[in-house]
Amino acid sequence: MQFEQSEPRTAHWLERRSYTIHQSLDHLLAMAHRYRHEGQLRQAMEMYWMLLEDHSSTAQALEAQKSLLELADAYEREDERHTARAVYERLCDLDGVPSTRVVTARRAIPASST
* Position 21, amino acid: I
The region of weakest confidence among 7-16, 46-55, 89-98 is: 89-98
Cα–Cα distance for residue pair 107/11, rounded to 1 Å: 48
Res. 12 pLDDT band, cuts 50 70 90: confident
Domains of the chain plus CATH, in order, are 2-113 (1.25.40)
CA-based nearest residue to 84, from 55, 110, 56: 110
Mean pLDDT of 99-109: 51
Mean pLDDT of 85-100: 79
Could you report the per-residue pLDDT of 58-88, keeping only the tens digit for each? 999 999 999 999 999 999 999 999 999 999 9
